[in-house]
Structure 1
Amino acid sequence: MSDDLPPEPDNMPDPNTLSEPLSRAIGERYLTYALSTIMNRALPDARDGLKPVHRRILYAMRELRLSPSGAFRKSAKITGDVMGNYHPHGDAAIYDAMARLAQDFAMRYPLVDGQGNFGNVDGDNPAAARYTEARLAQASEALMDGLAEDSVDFRPNYDGTLSEPVVLPAAFPNLLANGASGIAVGMATNVPPHNLHEVIDACLHLIKTPDARDDTLAGILQGPDFPTGGVIVESRDSIAETYRTGRGAFRVRARWEQEDLGRGQWQIVVTQIPYQVQKSRLIERLAELIQTRKIPILADVRDESAEDIRIVLEPRARNVDPEQLMAALYRVSDLEIRFSMNMNVLIDGRVPKVCSLKEVLRAFLDHRREVLGRRAQFRLGKIAARLEVLDGYLIAYLNLDRVIEIIRHEDDPKAVMIAEFGLTEVQVEAILNMRLRALRKLEEIELRAERDALLAEREGLAAMLADEAAQWARIAEQLKEVRNLFGKSSPEGQRRTTISEAADVEPLDLDAMIEREPLTVILSKMGWIRAMKGHQPLDAEVKFKDGDGPGAALHAETTDKLMIFASNGRFYTLPANTLPGGRGMGEPLRLMIDLPNEAEVIALFPWREADRYLVASKAGDGFVVQAADILAQTRSGKQVLNGEGLLCRKVAGDHVAVVGDNRKLLVFPLDELPEMARGKGVRLQKFKDGGLSDAICLTLAEGLNWPMGGGKTRTEPDLSEWLGKRATAGRMAPRGFPRDNRFA
């Protein structure tokens, strides 16, 4: 009969398939991913200052019993345990996170004690996990103190076979002490490290004065304290504002000193570099500045570092002011950086929020109060259990003969003792498990003393739990104990980063240090540029690479700034003294500036402060721009013309002549063009089809000149026939006008 049933249609929906709009499906799944990234990866918890991966690493090392005074274990073993038990992600990511916890140049108070190659300040990576060993540092013990006393909540691990802490008890504010950084979905965090002594002082002040202002706390904290030292050059008002809002930046400079070499010679020695700056890349940058002669007064840089950082900078002349030299280097190298602070953290492990200094300290102190209460309750439970046993022991001592008789003669001594003496199951089990030598008289005295001590301790804990002031006093006492361990009394606790306001140093005129010499700049069609000494004839024969040829040539001087206008509407600045010499074929221009491959060079000329320039696009729009508005400060250039650039002409005279692809010529007054710093401009000429072909500035009384063959020039003195308003169509060009529609 089944053969007679009609076949099911192919488009019948699967009963296990759920249909929903694509936008909602993607939105819900992306939101889930974003929340997972924010909560479980990128943002630290304000209470212990750790991300889940760091917390799991420390807990796994604790489970392996890798105490600060114990033996080291292979990092591969630690990484494997963390990955297998708690953190189901890549072992490389786990090892990188653990290695950072051991780096004294990355962590102000390292949480892992590493043995082996864990990387260095040069930027070298740690050795493989099979070669290095690690154990917990003393600071980690302080973070996990009380973990076995029900001080925090635990949750099942990823497969439900084990449990892991939701947060660590954290005896000190690790978030501020060691800092944190991370990038989540739609938000990021970057907290600098601080001096633990000052952070605890701020906590103690907040305990004493709960309504303390952020400015007061910032005055106690002073500012970041980076493990690599350095100097923070910010005003106190700026630092206070950063801590009040939770957002801001700190300018961090290298620490240096002038070293006298005798006979008037001296050199600069850099002994501390800014935080997170790789020493090797810093030296490469300084060497590049010397090679390209961007800092002509700097002669040499040497790395003489051993255990400590020692970077030697040699000046080219002894009459250079070292303060001015360093001020120039601050502007062009990582000897000065801006460390941005974004105190975006998880409050109570659930809510991401950009917090002020006071809010972060308050979150930590509230956590410490909760930990204190939970540890006290745990201790009270232990005391109650022990008192129950001690009471049973004392009853047994008072009726020792009867207890012995019951044990010797009764078949069920437990039931008999419970019925006769009113003991509990726990008390009877303790009596039955008692050793014979514990029956001596001295043991009874010790039990009574222990019972009295536990009763006093229970009374003290109960009084503390009932009195908020007593709780805060105990928290303050615990913080002081941590401060004594890691504070300024220990060598590692001394402040390393000093804070001062930037001194007023007159900026060094680098152009004045360049020796002024004539140059002939040559740019090939394929974009190779070079500079020949002296002013050579611009039409002289010059060798080019195969397939290449002459593009542009001009006379300049070593002190000039060369301006390059490209078809993408951007101006690029290139110091003439940095150009390669004329002995070879030069170097590609695109290696010196960030010129896209699809953009072509339209104009090359030396920059003059008083000049103005007419810029126009192929669409026929243009305007006049001042020289000061085209000077670029970076390799990426400066966007001036919005649109595809066609030409850049120096402004001279009182009129503008434009010619279109349709060979129609229009002359209009120069003052009809606006002067702008950036934009699309205004319409120069009206076209039915095609666009702009060329434009030039002229003096109306002198007429219009254009080149003829054989080096001859033709002049059209009377331009009244082509004179009109801007954005009109114009008239056909005069007889003999160049076929390529170019004025020059």
Structure 2
Amino acid sequence: MSSDAPDPDVPDDVANRVKNVRVDDEMEQSYIDYAMSVIAGRALPRVEDGLKPVHRRILYAMHEAGVTSGSSHRKSSNIVGDTMGDYHPHGDSPIYDALVRMAQDFSMRYPLVDGQGNFGSVDGDPAAAMRYTEARMASIAEELLTDIEKDTVDFQANYDDRLQEPTVLPSAFPNLLVNGSSGIAVGMSTNIPPHNLGEVIDATIHLIDNPDCTVLDLMDHVKGPDFPTAGNIVGRSAVKKAYQTGRGRVRMRAEYHVEEDDSGDSIVITELPYQQNKSKLVERIADDVRDEKLEGIRDLRDESDRNGIRVVVELKRNANTDVVENHLLESHLERTFGVINLALVDGQPKVLTLKEMLEEYVAHRKEVVRRRSEHDLAEAEDRAHILEGRLKALEQADEVVDAIQNSEDRDEAKDALKDDFGFTQAQADHIVRMQLGSLTSMETAEIEDEYEDVSARIERLEEILGSESELLSVIKDELREIKDEYADERRTSFIEDTGTVTDEDLIPEEDVVVVLSEQDYIKRVPADTFDPQHRGGKGIIGTDLKDEDRVSAVFTASTHDYLLCFTNQGQVYKLKTYEVPEMSRTARGTSAVNILDLDDGEEISAVVTADDLDFEADEEYLTMVTRHGYVKRTTVGEFENILSTGIIAIDLQDGDELADVEVTGGNHDVVLGSERGMAIRFDETDVRAMGRTARGVHGMNLEGEDRVVGVAAVEPDDDRTLLTVTEFGFGKRTALDEYRKQSRNGKGLVDIKTGDRNGSVVSLDTVADGDNLVVMSEEGQIIRMPVDEVSTYGRNTKGVKIMDVEEGDEVADVCVYTPIEADDEKDENGEDGEDGEDGEDGEDESADEA
């Protein structure tokens, strides 16, 4: 057989019917068709009834099957099967998921399905399989289908052309606003929050009465979204924007309160933001507590039951309730609801304002009531016509009966009635079917009464159809009936938006002592925990140390201070004082790695309060000194932006360490002090300003193993004194004018005698009357005293006992601060030191100057 023979199944003109199209054009059009199918057929609700096709088909299938609020519950699998087989051929899972959501009272403000069985929970538990649950329509759902049999809405063929289904439901209330909607289409999404039924109906009636009203006028009635899980809405500005533009971001906050008892406070959560999973909320809070992101929580329990939500967050005794509350709000108890009022209007997606949504609904109800009235009018007119025939027949009952009796059959009787008495075909048909019992006088009276009622109904329907005001009056009356039947109290409350609440806003400003140990434990303690004492006492326990751990640094600050923490390795970190956990004076503290990203062996050597720094100023500097005697100045502007991992403050070489940092203003003198009691004073301008990564220049010429311990800034005409403290707890104050100015890199003058009694110098600072002094030993003893307790002596003296340091212990650090408020001095456990020879002014002239 020849291979060139034509195929008999292929038409001759097939080549002429082939169209050449560009692939990109075909793909674009096909994608647009698909997108519009998803938008209109699945994902977006219609503005008129607020339902997507799947929800509408479920309700209509239940209506057709008689599964109403007055019937018994029906297996969910049966309802899903009817819906899928007759109207929605997209699989049983999405149909059942939609059915379940309509039955959840935590998802729908007014559930449209009355479920029986396990329909899920606010914890995110899934519903039981459809073969185990039962459902029927809720009574309010029937209001969406009221009068659907009266030609009130358009119908279309179902997917296989066997049946007809409604394109929209009559919807006796604005369901789109009342229950809201959410969905994701192709390139767009909708997220409409639920509202209170009574408020929405009041706004609808107001719009009908005042078509020119504004959105703000409608907001007098619709206060805002009303979520099924109650909770709070923070502020009204976002709600106003959403109603005026169709888009907005509404902040939702859980409802909670604080319960107090002897064991500590508890934060009790009783209402959740809409669509928040309770079990995941509890899990996330527990994770944050475990990861030490959330401090101060002792226990966490979910005590919720069928009566409502109750999640208890128990706090530790020393926890700051306000701070824990703020952290919970910031991370867990607030959510944002992104309002997108997108719905289908005439088959097209459109973002709607509050007024536009209600206007579209009112237009829909006008059409429904008009079509219903026309349908009812036609039925009433047909009935009146029949009743007129019956009354006419009763007036001539004998003649009519004779005419029927004399006829051969029904058709001849009907013709006789039409020809001899003037009845219409419909009237003749009815009269022929009448029973003789209807000819009684009582029956006649009933027909006359019915005719009067039907005539009045016709008149009323004609009035409604002939006057828009009467039609709108009907709509308003029906809305009021719905409100009276189903409206309830508002659940979601409004609270004022006070802006972003920071921890600083919640924490009272107070002086605190921050303690760090060599093994990187850190804590803060209110300064007033330590009563002021006389000098020379042993102090009290300031921290509980682990074996072989020792105090490495102590400093004072206000809880609101923003601190620059400089380390011995030349790094600088930023820290808010309140970020350090507050603990009792006998507590060990928490690991510093949770607060500062310190490396092994890295310790804080100086702290500067940044709140008073002017980062824009060119004549404000941070002056740094190293253990090897180097000094450098860097403008404060270089430290404005500090990473969480810190930045370099100074370049250190040959095993050098950063010793201390002071703020200078370009016209200061600086005083450097060493471990062996030497001090040198020179003009800060002797050190040129340089960048952060510079090493600096020689500031002090040290002998042997001597090292710099600190730097003090001296203002012009400064009336303060220089405080020097040694490792064995001795110290003194000396007038600044006893330290004459020299050139930098000199050996300096003798500041204090060191030796066996005093030990090496550990601290150098300028102090003023009214300042407080805090001294802490390496073993954790701490003493606080007014600096006035420390006597003033000349240079080259031994000083007086400031703290009674036990054998084997040494002073770890000293800090000076000016109290926010003067403390009442108390003499408790204060023990005066003996001045005696300790205070003798025995200057060593040979060591006075090098």
TM-score by length of 1: 0.69
Deviation at 1:438, TM superposition (A): 1.6
- Contact 2:517/2:549 (8 A) holds in 1: no
Partners of 1:26 and 1:45 in 2: CA distance: 28
2:96 match: 95
1:628 match: 641
> Residues 414, 209 of structure 1: CA spacing in aligned structure 2 closer, same or farther, 3 A cutoff?
same
2:194 match: 193
1:133 and 2:134 aligned: yes
- Contact 1:151/1:375 (8 A) holds in 2: yes
- Contact 2:651/2:694 (8 A) holds in 1: yes
> Residues 533, 223 of structure 1: CA spacing in aligned structure 2 closer, same or farther, 3 A cutoff?
farther
What is the CA deviation profile of residues 359-412 of structure 1, one whole-angstrom value per residue up to 9, with x for unaligned ones?
001111111111110110000110111112112212221222222222222122
What is the CA deviation profile of residues 302-321 of structure 1, one whole-angstrom value per residue up to 9, with x for unaligned ones?
00111110100111125623
1:494 match: 489
1:596 match: none
Q: Partner letter of residue 490 of structure 2?
A: R
Alignment of 1:473-512 (within 5 A): 473-487=473-487, 493-503=488-498, 507-508=502-503
Counterpart of 1:628 in 2: which secondary structure?
Answer: coil
Q: Equivalent of 2:402, from 385, 397, 405?
A: 405
Partners of 2:514 and 2:379 in 1: CA distance: 80
Partners of 2:158 and 2:320 in 1: CA distance: 63
Counterpart of 2:248 in 1: which secondary structure?
Answer: strand
> Residues 604, 230 of structure 1: CA spacing in aligned structure 2 closer, same or farther, 3 A cutoff?
farther
Alignment of 1:221-232 (within 5 A): 221-232=222-233
Q: Partner letter of residue 391 of structure 2?
A: L
Partners of 1:5 and 1:603 in 2: CA distance: 90
1:342 and 2:340 aligned: yes
- Contact 2:573/2:647 (8 A) holds in 1: no
1:106 match: 107
> Residues 463, 606 of structure 1: CA spacing in aligned structure 2 closer, same or farther, 3 A cutoff?
farther
Q: Partner letter of residue 141 of structure 1?
A: E
Counterpart of 1:182 in 2: which secondary structure?
Answer: strand
Partners of 1:449 and 1:7 in 2: CA distance: 79
Counterpart of 1:221 in 2: which secondary structure?
Answer: coil
Partners of 1:4 and 1:32 in 2: CA distance: 41
> Residues 507, 459 of structure 1: CA spacing in aligned structure 2 closer, same or farther, 3 A cutoff?
same
Q: Partner letter of residue 138 of structure 2?
A: A
1:657 match: none
> Residues 93, 431 of structure 1: CA spacing in aligned structure 2 closer, same or farther, 3 A cutoff?
same
- Contact 1:344/1:352 (8 A) holds in 2: yes
Q: Partner letter of residue 244 of structure 2?
A: R
1:352 and 2:377 aligned: no
Alignment of 1:54-453 (within 5 A): 54-234=55-235, 236-261=236-261, 263=262, 265-307=264-306, 308-317=308-317, 320-321=320-321, 323-333=322-332, 335-348=333-346, 350-411=347-408, 412-453=412-453
- Measured on the aligned residues, the alpha-carbon RMSD in Å equals 3.8
> Residues 505, 377 of structure 1: CA spacing in aligned structure 2 closer, same or farther, 3 A cutoff?
closer
Partners of 2:286 and 2:548 in 1: CA distance: 28
Q: Partner letter of residue 379 of structure 1?
A: D
- Unmatched segments (≥5 aa) in structure 1: 488-492, 522-531, 537-553, 562-574, 581-588, 590-601, 613-623, 633-647, 655-695, 703-744
Q: Partner letter of residue 370 of structure 1?
A: E
Partners of 1:535 and 1:141 in 2: CA distance: 75
Counterpart of 1:299 in 2: which secondary structure?
Answer: strand
Counterpart of 1:110 in 2: which secondary structure?
Answer: coil
Deviation at 1:330, TM superposition (A): 1.0
- Contact 1:179/1:190 (8 A) holds in 2: yes
2:461 match: 461
> Residues 2, 311 of structure 1: CA spacing in aligned structure 2 closer, same or farther, 3 A cutoff?
closer
Q: Partner letter of residue 197 of structure 2?
A: L
Partners of 1:4 and 1:176 in 2: CA distance: 69
Deviation at 1:259, TM superposition (A): 2.1
Deviation at 1:17, TM superposition (A): 4.8
Worse-matched range after superposition: 174-183 or 503-512 = 503-512
- Contact 2:264/2:315 (8 A) holds in 1: no
- Contact 1:518/1:557 (8 A) holds in 2: no
Number of corresponding residues: 562
What is the CA deviation profile of residues 593-635 of structure 1, one whole-angstrom value per residue up to 9, with x for unaligned ones?
xxxxxxxxx99999999899xxxxxxxxxxx997736449xxx
Deviation at 1:500, TM superposition (A): 1.6
> Residues 59, 518 of structure 1: CA spacing in aligned structure 2 closer, same or farther, 3 A cutoff?
farther
> Residues 517, 126 of structure 1: CA spacing in aligned structure 2 closer, same or farther, 3 A cutoff?
farther
2:31 match: 30
- The percentage of aligned residue pairs carrying the same residue is 39
Counterpart of 1:265 in 2: which secondary structure?
Answer: coil
Deviation at 1:239, TM superposition (A): 2.3
> Residues 514, 426 of structure 1: CA spacing in aligned structure 2 closer, same or farther, 3 A cutoff?
farther
- Contact 2:520/2:593 (8 A) holds in 1: no
Deviation at 1:61, TM superposition (A): 0.5
What is the CA deviation profile of residues 159-197 of structure 1, one whole-angstrom value per residue up to 9, with x for unaligned ones?
111011111111111111111001111111101111111
> Residues 275, 421 of structure 1: CA spacing in aligned structure 2 closer, same or farther, 3 A cutoff?
same
Counterpart of 1:220 in 2: which secondary structure?
Answer: coil
What is the CA deviation profile of residues 53-85 of structure 1, one whole-angstrom value per residue up to 9, with x for unaligned ones?
100010000011011121110000000000010
> Residues 152, 291 of structure 1: CA spacing in aligned structure 2 closer, same or farther, 3 A cutoff?
same
Q: Partner letter of residue 170 of structure 2?
A: P
Counterpart of 2:356 in 1: which secondary structure?
Answer: helix
Partners of 2:399 and 2:378 in 1: CA distance: 31
1:714 match: none
> Residues 375, 3 of structure 1: CA spacing in aligned structure 2 closer, same or farther, 3 A cutoff?
closer
- Contact 2:520/2:591 (8 A) holds in 1: no
Partners of 1:391 and 1:346 in 2: CA distance: 47
Partners of 2:215 and 2:469 in 1: CA distance: 23
> Residues 446, 517 of structure 1: CA spacing in aligned structure 2 closer, same or farther, 3 A cutoff?
farther
Find the structure with the greater CA-based Rg. Answer: 2
Partners of 1:450 and 1:166 in 2: CA distance: 36
> Residues 270, 452 of structure 1: CA spacing in aligned structure 2 closer, same or farther, 3 A cutoff?
same
Partners of 2:601 and 2:490 in 1: CA distance: 53
Deviation at 1:413, TM superposition (A): 1.2
Counterpart of 2:143 in 1: which secondary structure?
Answer: helix
> Residues 504, 94 of structure 1: CA spacing in aligned structure 2 closer, same or farther, 3 A cutoff?
closer
> Residues 346, 506 of structure 1: CA spacing in aligned structure 2 closer, same or farther, 3 A cutoff?
closer
- Contact 2:571/2:649 (8 A) holds in 1: no
Partners of 1:106 and 1:80 in 2: CA distance: 24
Counterpart of 2:40 in 1: which secondary structure?
Answer: helix
- Contact 2:295/2:324 (8 A) holds in 1: no
Q: Partner letter of residue 433 of structure 1?
A: R
1:39 and 2:40 aligned: yes
Partners of 1:513 and 1:340 in 2: CA distance: 45
- Contact 1:151/1:374 (8 A) holds in 2: yes
- Contact 2:571/2:647 (8 A) holds in 1: no
- Contact 1:520/1:555 (8 A) holds in 2: no
Partners of 2:124 and 2:3 in 1: CA distance: 75
Q: Partner letter of residue 312 of structure 2?
A: V
What is the CA deviation profile of residues 26-56 of structure 1, one whole-angstrom value per residue up to 9, with x for unaligned ones?
1011000110111111111111111111000
Partners of 1:355 and 1:535 in 2: CA distance: 67
